[in-house]
């Protein structure tokens, strides 16, 4: 890699600037091609910041990129767990990834999850809001998603335990890239969850409990590595968490969806009309389009790292083996070369189009989920989020205006008050 542009290490800038890091770095560059790639230095090595369709293509080219060693241990270990699928490559990755594809991408299984979460929404809305309570959409979604996903994954426990686990899993996501108390809470929650799930695996292998066939828990127990060996207890617990935690993390999108409905009441009315007409909160085309636009418009994942397997060229720039490639997820989802009016919230862009499948729509990564590093849980994410949008459209409530702001610099971010609702009541119909 050329040296002139990479003398200064930008790691601290990334931590402090959050979602603006990539755009600010590009704005400071005098390179006329800065829209698609930018040389810099991060984590002590050269790095190439990329965005857009060509950047996605490079990033997910397994012949040129690998994941091993890409994610800093203090981030990846806390979020995904040591030894997890996220740090594997090649045949080892494909073998482990097949477990998640089977667990998370079966349409019938996803339908069963949404049936369970619909029942959970009915119960939780009554308990947390209609009874006179004041709770945030973020907090309520953590409970609904967590209990639904854990039960669906084959984890049997009392409601209080499931709620506690859901909150801990949400805490793991909340502080994984934050300097300060939130990061410490993440470490405590990580250790507590790892111990609980490892014990759950040990009990299953001792014959004390038996998960339902075909559930994520069952599939984790059945899984065999390339050497024919099962996952050891701790790692099996880690991967079981990785099957449910991304769905619980949708609570951040749920809070943003509530904010978007508050700011775009015409869309709230459209979704409400659709929900009444269809008689269900699951799978409405308008609600799905709204959910997809929430995933595009609001920030969650800022960047993803990969490592060059060997020396290579990209758009005239040289990368040495071991250099990082950083895919600007937030910038790709708002890339003016691919999106019309990218800074405008407009769910219409996802109605009757193929944008959902475009290479430049990467809210949870790109490539093929079956064989690559794209999250296999996107059907779950979109299903849960669209259902949430429909459920919220059926409520009237007072929205606390203080705290609706969110930090563009915090990773990950969400509305500060989680979108706090009070005086909640059902709309007629």
pLDDT (0 to 100) of residue 27: 83
pLDDT (0 to 100) of residue 80: 75
Percentage helix, strand, coil for the chain under 3-state DSSP, each rounded to 5 = 50, 10, 35
Q: What is the mean pLDDT of the chain?
A: 90
Cβ–Cβ < 8 Å for 46, 77: no
CATH of the domain at 111: 1.10.630.10
Q: Say which residue the tokens 């542009």 belong to.
A: 5
More confidently predicted of 15 and 148: 148
Q: 77-115 pLDDT, tens per residue?
A: 567 777 788 788 889 988 999 999 999 999 999 999 999
pLDDT (0 to 100) of residue 3: 43
Residue 1 covered by a domain: no
Average pLDDT over residues 386-393: 98
> Domain range holding 330?
11-426
Residue 123 covered by a domain: yes
pLDDT (0 to 100) of residue 184: 87
Q: 229-259 pLDDT, tens per residue?
A: 999 999 999 999 999 999 999 999 999 999 9
The total domain count for the chain is: 1
Residue 221 covered by a domain: yes
* The pair of three-digit structure tokens given for residue 336, joined into one six-digit string: 């003016």
Percent pLDDT > 90 in the chain is 70
Residue 5 covered by a domain: no
CA–CA dist 416, 387 (Å, integer): 23
Residue 26 covered by a domain: yes
Residue 416 covered by a domain: yes
Average pLDDT over residues 123-134: 95
CA–CA dist 226, 212 (Å, integer): 25
Percent pLDDT > 70 in the chain is 93
Instruction: Cite the DSSP H helix spans in 214-325.
Output: 216-222, 233-248, 250-263, 265-278, 285-297
Residue 273 covered by a domain: yes
Residue 391 has pLDDT above 70, yes or no: yes
Residue 350 covered by a domain: yes
pLDDT (0 to 100) of residue 373: 64
* The pair of three-digit structure tokens given for residue 346, joined into one six-digit string: 């407009």
Q: Say which residue the tokens 């809470």 belong to.
A: 185
Positive/negative CA dihedral, 17, 23, 27, 28: positive
């Amino acid at each position: 890699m050329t040296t002139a542009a990479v003398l200064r290490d930008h790691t601290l800038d990334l931590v402090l600037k959050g979602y603006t890091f990539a755009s600010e770095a590009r704005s400071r560059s005098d390179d006329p091609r800065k829209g698609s790639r930018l040389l810099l230095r991060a984590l002590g090595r050269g790095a190439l910041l990329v965005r857009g369709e060509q950047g996605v293509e490079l990033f997910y080219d397994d012949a040129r990129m690998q994941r091993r060693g890409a994610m800093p241990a203090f981030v990846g270990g806390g979020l995904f767990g040591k030894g997890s699928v996220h740090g594997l490559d090649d045949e080892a990755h494909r073998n482990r990834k097949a477990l998640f594809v089977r667990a998370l991408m079966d349409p019938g299984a996803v339908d069963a999850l949404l049936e369970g979460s619909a029942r959970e929404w009915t119960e939780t809305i009554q308990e947390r809001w209609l009874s006179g309570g004041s709770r945030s959409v973020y907090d309520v979604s953590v409970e609904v998603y967590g209990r639904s996903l854990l039960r669906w994954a084959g984890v049997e426990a009392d409601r209080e335990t499931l709620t506690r686990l859901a909150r801990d899993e949400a805490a793991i996501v909340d502080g994984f890239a934050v300097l300060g108390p939130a990061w410490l809470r993440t470490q405590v929650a990580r250790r507590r969850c790892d111990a609980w799930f490892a014990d759950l695996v040990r009990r299953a292998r001792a014959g004390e409990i038996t998960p339902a066939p075909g559930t994520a828990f069952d599939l984790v127990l059945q899984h065999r590595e390339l050497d024919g060996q099962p996952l050891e207890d701790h790692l099996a617990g880690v991967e079981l968490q990785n099957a449910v935690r991304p769905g619980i993390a949708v609570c951040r999108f749920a809070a943003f969806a509530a904010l978007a409905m508050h700011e775009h009441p015409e869309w709230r009315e459209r979704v409400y009309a659709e929900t009444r007409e269809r008689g269900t909160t699951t799978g409405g085309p308008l609600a799905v389009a709204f959910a997809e636009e929430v995933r595009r418009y609001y920030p969650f994942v800022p960047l993803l790292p990969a490592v060059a397997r060997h020396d290579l060229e990209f758009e005239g720039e040289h990368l040495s083996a071991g250099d990082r490639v950083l895919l600007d997820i937030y910038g790709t989802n708002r890339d003016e070369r691919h999106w019309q009016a990218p800074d405008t919230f407009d769910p219409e862009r996802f109605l009757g189009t193929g944008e959902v499948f475009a290479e430049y729509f990467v809210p949870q990564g790109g490539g093929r989920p079956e064989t690559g590093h794209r999250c296999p849980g996107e059907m779950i994410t979109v299903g849960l989020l669209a259902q949430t949008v429909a459920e919220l459209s059926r409520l009237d409530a007072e929205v606390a205006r203080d705290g609706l702001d969110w930090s563009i610099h915090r990773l990950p971010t969400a509305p500060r008050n989680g979108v706090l609702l009070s005086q909640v009541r059902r709309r007629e119909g």
